[in-house]
Amino acid sequence: MKMKKKQVCFDCLVPLRKVKTKIRGIEMDSSECPKCGAKVFTEEQATEAALKVDAQRLKKQYSKKMIKIGNSWGLTFPKGLADVFRLNNNKTKMTLIPNLKENIIEIKIEN
């Protein structure tokens, strides 16, 4: 069984306590030094916080019109969506998964 080390403040060397922190209106888990008040986020907490901030930037749904590109059809993505999913990277790949029964085309992003 793996023992979990107790986190301590970098400055005070006092054990940290788990607290809820609100940043930009988003509540997230963190640790806080009871002596100096410094907030510390684990890598997992920081990743979760970044995902919450990105989700806050996005709408729940986008309505777009198809555009004709030669013999094919295309779709443009709003800048916020492109930024969050890193669609402006030439190495980003998309997989389209058609579902005729539900009339849905699912798009999976691979970065």
pLDDT in tens, 17-54: 999 988 777 788 889 999 999 888 888 888 888 888 77
Indicate the number of domains in the chain: 2
Based on the domain organization, do 94 and 72 belong to the same domain?
Answer: yes
> Is residue 75 in some structural domain?
yes
Based on the domain organization, do 106 and 71 belong to the same domain?
Answer: yes
> Is residue 103 in some structural domain?
yes
User: Which amino acid, residue 92?
Assistant: T
Better pLDDT: 78 or 26: 78
- Residue 53 lies in domain: 17-57
Residue 29's contacts (CB-CB under 8 Å, 6 or more residues apart) are 18, 19, 20, 21, 45, 48
Based on the domain organization, do 21 and 51 belong to the same domain?
Answer: yes
Based on the domain organization, do 42 and 72 belong to the same domain?
Answer: no
Confidence bin at 2 (pLDDT 50/70/90): low
Flag the least confident range among 2-6, 48-52, 92-96.
2-6
pLDDT at res. 4: 63
Question: What is the radius of gyration, based on Cα positions, of the chain?
Answer: 21
pLDDT exceeds 80 at position 101: yes
Q: What pTM was computed for the model?
A: 0.52
